[in-house]
Amino acid sequence: MAVSDEVLEHALDLFRTLGPIRTGRMFSGAALYVEDDVMFAMIASSGTIYMKSDATTEQQFLDAGSEPFTYTRATGDRQVTSLMSLPDSALDDADEAHHWAQLSLGPARVAADKKRADKARKAARKAT
């Protein structure tokens, strides 16, 4: 199931203060990008918005009632703590959503930098 247009538009409206947002496919949902390739949020096919997180931000999300993105594999459920649900209190509050998006930008930029570096290393190896 894909993300509905209504859910996607609501998320884009929540985060509009970040500037231009590009969308892309991620799992069966949608990824939200700023600064060209910085993925700061994901919308699951269920409509749940997940924010990029890391060890420095995870506890803040947990304290606000967030839960990690979870999916089921043949070996059981897998939790992805690098994606934490947007706290319920921010779902209809653009100012609060902006706060969580700003918190997510740090881990998102680190992940984008790593992805760019990995891509450059692969290209350099292929060129030799």
Q: How confident is the model at residue 1 (pLDDT cuts 50, 70, 90)?
A: low
pLDDT at 17 over 80: yes
Strands (E), 2-111: 22-26, 29-34, 38-43, 49-52, 68-73, 76-85
One-letter amino acid of 8: L
- Report pLDDT digits (tens) over 90-112: 999 999 999 999 999 999 999 99
Domain tally, the chain? 1
For residue 118, the domain's CATH number is 3.30.1460.30
Q: What percent of the chain has pLDDT over 90?
A: 91
Average pLDDT over residues 16-40: 94
What is the domain range of residue 123? 5-127
What mean pLDDT comes out for the span 70-93? 94
What distances in angstroms separate CA 12 from CA 1, 23, 40, 53, one per listed residue?
19, 9, 12, 19
Both tokens of residue 102?
Answer: 């700003």
pTM for the full predicted model: 0.91
Average pLDDT of the chain is: 95
